[in-house]
């Protein structure tokens, strides 16, 4: 059974030095915790730091934080017989939820301690969430809401490193729209932007949840396919062309796309991997615009 408690933090009245009316030792502990919480803007690290402090007062097996934009789980968390939830509020507005996995009921004394500790956590947590949101915006293409080139550069390195550890394959699909400049010149940039948005939608509809889609700018797009196989890429290819044919705006303007792909090899770095996919795209544009051009791993 889950119980929800509300912790409301009016920022305008917050003062860490007067928050606790306890012994000097307890006050020093709380100030030490606050100092630790102010050392990072990483939500996961904040939750880990907080869990260590809470463990001094409460026997729990898991601690979880949930915000509309981000969630975090304390290191070593596991399920228990029940959960106890605390709703966090800032200036009366819902901010997030902290959940404890517990095997025993929380005593009234520990409940009061948790409520006070949550008050200390709220401001650092708010700053960390805002930082996460800002970073997300910096990594996002504003028109299509896909990842941007900066996001791609970071993700391709992570995916390649993971594939090397797991001995799996990574596929990279590069795509652009054929004669897109003519659409802009003929119908204007508003229509051109709408075409890009709909094409981005077609790409998103065509990939798996584990794949990542990016827009570099203009009409240039990329898809990183983790655990790639020829069959998986063939399926993505056909889905893209099918999604485009079913989109009214793309069909109205006879929008077509070229796709080029390369599989990562063990000697690749991000630059060489990208160059081979770009070569495949160029080859496909020069030959058969409705067939996927694959560059070998050599």
The share of the chain scoring above pLDDT 70, in percent, equals 89
Listed residues 138, 163, 196: the one ending a domain: 138
Q: What is the pLDDT of residues 184-229, one digit of tens each?
A: 999 999 999 999 999 999 999 999 999 999 999 899 999 999 999 9
Average pLDDT, the chain: 88
CA-CA distance, 197 to 162, in Å (whole number)? 31
CB distance 54 to 60 below 8 Å:
yes
Shared domain check, 252 and 207: yes
Shared domain check, 275 and 157: yes
Helices 24-37 + 43-54 axis angle, to 10: 160
Shared domain check, 185 and 133: no
Q: Does 15 reside within a domain?
A: yes
98, 107, 277 from 77: Cα distances, Å? 13, 21, 41
- pLDDT over threshold 70, residue 21: no
Q: Does 144 reside within a domain?
A: no
- Determine which helix (DSSP H) or strand (DSSP E) holds 183, and give its type and residue range: helix 180-187
Shared domain check, 166 and 132: no
Q: Does 237 reside within a domain?
A: yes
The number of domains in the chain is 2
Contacts of 123 (CB under 8 A, 6+ apart): 9, 11, 14
Q: Does 267 reside within a domain?
A: yes
The share of the chain scoring above pLDDT 90, in percent, equals 79
Shared domain check, 168 and 67: no
Domain that holds residue 65: 2-138
Q: Does 166 reside within a domain?
A: yes
CB distance 175 to 250 below 8 Å:
no
Average pLDDT over residues 37-60: 95
> Which band of pLDDT confidence, cut at 50, 70 and 90, is reported for residue 5?
low
Q: What is the pLDDT of residues 145-199, one digit of tens each?
A: 999 999 999 999 999 999 999 999 999 999 999 989 999 999 999 999 999 999 9
Listed residues 97, 117, 138: the one ending a domain: 138
Shared domain check, 155 and 104: no
Contacts of 56 (CB under 8 A, 6+ apart): none
Shared domain check, 189 and 52: no
Average pLDDT over residues 23-42: 88
> Does 250 or 291 have the greater pLDDT score?
250
Contacts of 200 (CB under 8 A, 6+ apart): 144, 145, 146, 213, 215, 221
CA-CA distance, 27 to 35, in Å (whole number)? 12
The percent helix, strand, coil of the chain (3-state, each to 5) is 50, 20, 30
Q: What is the pLDDT of residues 75-125, one digit of tens each?
A: 999 999 999 999 999 988 999 999 999 999 999 999 999 999 999 999 999
Predicted local distance difference test score (pLDDT) of residue 22 = 54
Q: Does 143 reside within a domain?
A: no
> Which band of pLDDT confidence, cut at 50, 70 and 90, is reported for residue 6?
low
Question: Phi, psi (5° rounding) for residue 125?
Answer: -70, -40
- Domain of 125, CATH number, reads 3.30.450
Shared domain check, 274 and 234: yes
Listed residues 90, 109, 138: the one ending a domain: 138
Q: What is the pLDDT of residues 114-135, one digit of tens each?
A: 999 999 999 999 999 999 989 8
- Domain of 180, CATH number, reads 3.30.70.270
Contacts of 194 (CB under 8 A, 6+ apart): 249
Q: Does 160 reside within a domain?
A: yes
């Amino acid at each position: 059974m889950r119980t929800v408690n509300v912790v409301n933090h009016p920022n305008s009245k917050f003062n860490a030095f007067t928050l606790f009316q306890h012994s000097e030792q307890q006050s020093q502990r709380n100030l030490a915790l606050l100092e630790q919480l102010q050392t990072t803007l990483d939500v996961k690290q904040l939750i880990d730091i907080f869990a260590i402090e809470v463990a001094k007062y409460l026997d729990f097996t898991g601690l979880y934080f949930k915000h509309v934009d981000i969630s975090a789980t304390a290191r070593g968390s596991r399920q228990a017989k029940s959960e106890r939830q605390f709703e966090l509020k800032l200036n009366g507005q819902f901010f997030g939820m902290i959940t404890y996995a517990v095997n025993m009921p929380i005593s009234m004394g520990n409940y009061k301690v948790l409520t006070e500790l949550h008050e200390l956590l709220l401001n650092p947590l708010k700053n960390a969430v805002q930082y996460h949101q800002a970073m997300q915006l910096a990594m996002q293409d504003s028109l299509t809401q896909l990842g941007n080139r900066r996001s791609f550069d970071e993700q391709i390195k992570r995916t390649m490193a993971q594939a090397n550890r797991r001995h799996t394959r990574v596929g990279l699909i590069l795509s652009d729209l054929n004669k897109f400049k003519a659409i802009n010149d003929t119908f204007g940039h508003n229509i051109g932007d709408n075409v890009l948005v709909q094409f981005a939608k077609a790409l998103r509809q065509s990939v798996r949840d584990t794949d990542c889609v990016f827009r570099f700018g203009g009409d240039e797009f990329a898809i990183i396919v983790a655990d790639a196989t020829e069959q998986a890429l063939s399926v993505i290819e056909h889905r893209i062309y099918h999604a485009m044919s079913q989109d009214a705006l793309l069909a109205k303007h006879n929008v077509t796309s070229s796709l080029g792909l390369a599989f990562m090899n063990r000697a690749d770095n991000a630059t060489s991997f990208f160059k081979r996919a770009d070569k495949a795209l160029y080859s496909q544009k020069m030959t058969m615009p409705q067939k996927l051009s694959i560059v070998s791993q050599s």
